[in-house]
Amino acid sequence: MELSYLEYTPALSAASTLAAHAVVAGRVSAGPGLVLRRHATLRADGEAIRIGANAFFGVRATVHIADSVYPTIMGDDVTVGRYGLVHACTLADGVVVADAATVMDGAVVGAHALIMPGAVVPPRKTLAGGVVYAGSPAQPVRAIGRDELALWHAALRRESPLETSAATDLPAGDEQSSAQPPLIVRPQASFIAPTTIVAGTVELADDASIYFACVADAGDGRIAIDSRSNVQDNTFLVTSRARGDIVIGRDVTIGHNVRMGSASIGDRSLIGMSAIVGDGVVVEADACVGAGAQVAPGTRVPAGWIYAGRPARPFRELRPAEREGFADIVTVYAHYSDVYRSG
């Protein structure tokens, strides 16, 4: 699926391969040989995505930008594995972002580097090329030669990773996990992207949104998303009556590639990209779960705090500028939703 955003239309070579339910939206330009597997999503609404030749994006890989701040720029021969997330950053030629790895805003990754499965490259970090990086936050492990890196490219492109980790215990990704028929309750002023999978009872309030390739599977339970909250691309919200409802408050951001079970997310909170949120988690109002964090079942994240790490632990209190930034994201996503809904 190729989608325009405002006056912007993707510019792809005829030699591109887009699998079922893959999406390219907005000001994306890519060289020849682009390959997107199922549900991979390249969304360039608030800034540009520029990709070189022979790029590959695995199942449910996500590429996005930082609205009016950072584009995403990739060189030639870049490989992004299943559930990989490349967000508002720069990847030089030959970089491998392995399964469930994340590269965040303003980061720069040098040529022929390997970001290991589940690793998280923090914002604005510059990583040298020709090196293996692992962990959250990603740290250098050792040098890597071109021959070894070529094995990673080949393995990820045939969907047979050379190495996995706890962070890559990934859902199958193609179907909802329950057989419940969808029962969507929403006002006209809300947005559910056309490649989202919905099962069971899912309720949206005004200006709430669920973006591309998400799974919202309530089973025989319920998912409720209050006004002006956004659930970003390739996020899984999966629960059942036995596990408990998923209830998301007002003005909440759920980042890209999040996996969430039964949970209660308070108003004005943010769940960072690639986080894993277990059953029974309570995130109080004005709180934050950091990118790539793994929140153990039953955890309570207190109001005004950031929890980060694997497992997630108290990191520090939120700063006023961060609260303002969260509010800005909500406003930007309300605008995106208006545009996509009208188009």
pLDDT tens for the chain, 343 residues: list them.
999 999 999 999 999 999 999 999 999 999 999 999 999 999 999 999 999 999 999 999 999 999 999 999 999 999 999 999 999 999 999 999 999 999 999 999 999 999 999 999 999 999 999 999 999 999 999 999 999 999 999 999 998 878 776 555 677 655 556 778 899 988 888 999 999 999 999 999 999 999 999 999 999 999 999 999 999 999 999 999 999 999 999 999 999 999 999 999 999 999 999 999 999 999 999 999 999 999 999 999 999 999 999 999 999 999 999 999 999 999 999 999 999 998 7
Beta bridge partners of 63: 42, 86
Give the pLDDT of residue 83: 96
CA distances 24 to 50, 51, 61, 126, 215, Å, are 12, 12, 12, 27, 18
Give the 3-state secondary structure percentages of the chain, helix then strand then coil, rounded to 5.
10, 40, 50
Going by their DSSP bridges, the two strands 305-308 and 313-317 should be labelled as: antiparallel
Q: Where are the domains of the chain?
A: 2-168, 182-342
Give the pLDDT of residue 168: 59
Query: Same CATH fold, 182-342 and 2-168?
Result: yes
- Taking the C-alpha atoms of residue 57 and residue 17, their distance in angstroms, rounded to an integer, is 10
- Taking the C-alpha atoms of residue 343 and residue 339, their distance in angstroms, rounded to an integer, is 6
Q: Which residues contact 12 (CB under 8 A, 6 or more apart)?
A: 2, 24, 28, 29, 30, 34
3-class DSSP state of 181: coil
Closest CA to 31 of 10, 54, 3: 54
Q: Which residues contact 62 (CB under 8 A, 6 or more apart)?
A: 40, 41, 43, 83, 84, 85, 86, 87, 213, 233, 234, 256, 257
Task: Give, as one character, the DSSP assignment of residue 328.
Answer: H
Cα–Cα–Cα angle for 213, 158, 148, rounded to 5 degrees: 120
Give the pLDDT of residue 165: 62
Give the pLDDT of residue 170: 72
Class of CATH domain 182-342: mainly beta
What distance, in Å, lies between the first and last C-alpha atoms of the chain? 14
Q: Which residues contact 328 (CB under 8 A, 6 or more apart)?
A: none
Tokens at 38, concatenated: 């199922």
- The domain at 2-168 falls in which architecture? 3 Solenoid (2.160)
